[in-house]
């Protein structure tokens, strides 16, 4: 456990003793040594590669984790709570596995993919029909991207509902939000690369969302001097319309910039889990089973490297049992391995049975109708059909910022590591779900049936700025915020308010995504099902 172990090499791992120099020339000893060294090389090489023996003793098991670059992110002993299936559901590891799978399949696809307007679509067809295993790799890449966004969101919900964002893990939650944004950026930039109709028009819409702050600057009359919308679009596309410049920019972002940013953020995210004292767990997890004292050596304040060599107090804890913990090797390694295998298998099965779609080649003259973004952006697409700026920029910014600030606004220390923070939290979650369903379904029903301001006689000519700030989307957000404030007041708990807000947004996201996927057809009109879409 102690850090100093790192320097102590086990005696059996020492390379053979160096012979004293000064042997006479021609003496046979040196040649014999050479022959012996040569014969012993496989053994000594293995000993220098893995410096501990077979991990059978606790000490060797500890070293197996401690002296391994890839495993040293893990503690040598892990709290039992951390490997219970209900603690994390394996979602964080699954997200990481998907990221690695995407990197591997992505690099393989890069071998044949040509990021040019003339070549892109053709190289996609090559990958699908000519390249050995190309179709499978593309399928795994596509379904893996969807699965990564899904796992990431579920992981976020898990962390939220088990109150794992609380002190000292606040900043790691912020890092998680950054990773969420970067992952969506990776998805969005990857979407253009096939250069099919859907890619072209979904990105045209995305780039114009980047331009939508013009809605605001136009209303203020400052667009001619300060046109941030145009600037954003031009930086993104390198042109006025989606074309070769946009394709190469998206390619660079997708295969280089964003993966590097994501890798760095992932590394820090995982490192901080360790520095913050492992996975969040309830206080009861330390006292329940064995009735002993808390495992003090697992708390960050008493970690030896927490001392940072600046104090003489707080020496490493010795002579205290590490209650409720197990050896990381091999227990946690098995768990991680199992999640890795299940995730990879799921992607392989999906990739073999379902082909990723590819529409006809991009045609800038004819928009896809309806031009639907990938599912995780469809909720936003429903919102931009009310107002491009609030739906595409304003509300997402409010949601991301609001979520990132949750650990700073709710600083209650109770019930960390407990799902829904107990019975009251379960009631608040359920109540918020009912509230959010009523609000969102009610607003959608109202909007589909009656339209909005422009469809009504009295308000047909209201200025755009009114619609920008008063539309079904902003009404949801306002109602959700009011509901959460009410919950804080009634329960006198910021944690309950946070649960209410998060639940509302989660429900809103799910319903809007479902609604835009199933019930929106050509011209973004409402249809009960795709079977009702007009033929054209």
Partner 1 sequence: MDNQLQTSERFKPPKTRRDFLGLLAAWSAIAAFVMAILGAFRLPMPSVFPESDSRAKLGKPKQFTVGAQTYFAKQRLWLYRDEAGFHALSSVCTHLGCIAERLDDGQFSCPCHGSKFDEAGRVKGGPAPKGLIWVELSVSPEGWLVADTLKEVTPGTKLLA
Which residues bind to partner 1, rule: CB under 8 A?
201, 204-205, 207-209, 212, 214-215, 218, 231, 234-235, 238-241, 243-245, 249, 365-371, 381, 384-389, 391, 451, 454-455, 464, 467-468, 522-525
DSSP 327: E
Nearer to partner 1 by C-beta: 285 or 388? 388
Least distance (Å) from partner 1 to the CB of residue 222? 15
Region class of 517: left (phi > 0), else alpha (psi between -120 and 50), else beta? alpha
Of 522, 192, 208, 241, nearest to 387 (Cα)? 208
Helical segments of 212-327, H only? 214-220, 228-237, 244-252, 258-275, 284-287
Residue 7 tokens, joined? 């320097």
Determine contact, residues 190/144, Cβ cutoff 8 Å.
no
Nearer to partner 1 by C-beta: 201 or 502? 201
Least distance (Å) from partner 1 to the CB of residue 249? 7
Determine contact, residues 276/268, Cβ cutoff 8 Å.
no
Could you report how far apart the first and last alpha carbons of the chain are, in Å? 70
Q: From residue 86, give the alpha-carbon distance in Å to each of 161, 162, 530.
A: 12, 10, 38
Nearer to partner 1 by C-beta: 365 or 535? 365
In the block, residue with structure tokens 């020496």 = 315
Determine contact, residues 523/370, Cβ cutoff 8 Å.
yes
Nearer to partner 1 by C-beta: 215 or 297? 215
Least distance (Å) from partner 1 to the CB of residue 365? 5
Least distance (Å) from partner 1 to the CB of residue 480? 21
Determine contact, residues 149/184, Cβ cutoff 8 Å.
yes
CA angle (156 as vertex; 297, 510 as ends), nearest 5: 160
Least distance (Å) from partner 1 to the CB of residue 471? 8
CB atoms within 10 A of CB 54: 9
Nearer to partner 1 by C-beta: 163 or 192? 192
Least distance (Å) from partner 1 to the CB of residue 489? 35
Least distance (Å) from partner 1 to the CB of residue 272? 25
Nearer to partner 1 by C-beta: 108 or 207? 207
Nearer to partner 1 by C-beta: 310 or 365? 365
Nearer to partner 1 by C-beta: 337 or 451? 451
Residue 218 tokens, joined? 């136009």
Least distance (Å) from partner 1 to the CB of residue 450? 12
- Cα separation of 149 and 307, whole Å? 38
Sort 283 into a burial class: Cβ within 10 Å, 0-12 / 13-18 / 19+.
Answer: middle
Least distance (Å) from partner 1 to the CB of residue 380? 11
Q: Which residues contact 214 (CB under 8 A, 6 or more apart)?
A: 223, 227, 229, 230, 389
Nearer to partner 1 by C-beta: 122 or 367? 367
């Amino acid at each position: 456990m102690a850090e100093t172990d790192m320097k102590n090499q086990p005696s059996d791992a020492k390379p053979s003793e160096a012979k004293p120099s000064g042997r006479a020339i021609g003496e046979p000893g040196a040649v014999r040594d050479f022959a012996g060294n040569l014969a012993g090389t496989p053994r000594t090489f293995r000993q220098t590669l893995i410096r501990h023996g077979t991990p059978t003793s606790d000490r060797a098991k500890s070293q197996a984790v401690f002296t391994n670059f890839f495993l040293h992110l893990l503690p040598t002993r892990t709290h039992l709570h951390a490997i219970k299936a209900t603690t994390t559901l394996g979602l964080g590891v699954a997200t990481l596995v998907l990221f690695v799978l995407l990197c591997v399949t992505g690099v393989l696809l890069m071998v044949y993919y040509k990021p040019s307007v003339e070549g892109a679509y053709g190289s996609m067809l090559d990958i699908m029909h000519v390249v050995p295993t190309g179709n499978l790799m593309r399928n795994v890449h596509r379904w893996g991207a969807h699965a990564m966004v899904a796992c990431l969101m579920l992981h976020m919900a898990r962390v939220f509902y088990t109150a794992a964002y609380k002190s000292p893990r606040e900043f790691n939650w912020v890092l998680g939000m950054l990773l969420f944004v970067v992952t969506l950026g990776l998805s969005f930039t990857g979407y253009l690369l096939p250069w099919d109709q859907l890619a072209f028009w979904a990105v045209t819409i995305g780039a114009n969302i980047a331009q939508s702050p013009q809605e605001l600057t136009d209303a203020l009359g400052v667009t001619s001097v300060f046109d941030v919308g145009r600037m954003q679009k031009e930086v993104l596309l390198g042109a006025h319309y989606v074309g070769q410049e946009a394709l190469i920019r998206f390619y660079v972002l997708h295969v280089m910039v964003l993966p590097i940013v994501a890798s760095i953020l992932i590394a820090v995210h995982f490192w901080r889990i360790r520095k913050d004292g492992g996975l969040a767990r309830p206080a009861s997890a330390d006292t329940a089973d064995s009735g002993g004292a808390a495992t003090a050596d697992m708390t960050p304040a008493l970690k030896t490297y927490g001392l940072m060599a600046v104090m003489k107090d707080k020496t490493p804890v010795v002579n205290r049992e590490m209650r409720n913990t197990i050896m990381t090797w091999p227990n946690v390694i098995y768990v991680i391995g199992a999640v890795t295998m299940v995730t990879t298998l799921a992607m392989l099965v999906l990739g073999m049975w379902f082909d990723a779609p590819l529409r006809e080649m991009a045609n800038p003259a004819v928009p896809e109708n309806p031009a639907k973004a990938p599912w995780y952006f469809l909720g936003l697409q429903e919102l931009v059909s009310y107002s491009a700026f609030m739906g595409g920029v304003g509300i997402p910014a409010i949601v991301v910022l609001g979520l990132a600030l949750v650990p700073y606004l709710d600083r209650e220390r109770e019930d960390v590591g407990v799902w829904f923070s107990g019975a009251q939290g379960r009631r608040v979650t359920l109540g918020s779900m009912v509230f959010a369903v009523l609000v969102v379904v009610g607003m959608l029903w109202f909007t589909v049936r009656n339209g909005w301001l422009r469809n009504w006689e009295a308000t047909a000519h209201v200025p755009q700025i009114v619609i920008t700030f008063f539309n079904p989307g902003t009404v949801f957000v306002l109602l959700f915020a009011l509901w959460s404030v009410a919950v804080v007041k009634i329960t006198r708990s910021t944690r309950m308010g946070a649960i209410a807000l998060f639940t509302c947004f989660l429900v809103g996201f799910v319903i809007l995504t479902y609604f835009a996927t199933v019930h929106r057809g050509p011209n973004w009109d409402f249809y009960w099902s795709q079977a009702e879409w007009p033929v054209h």
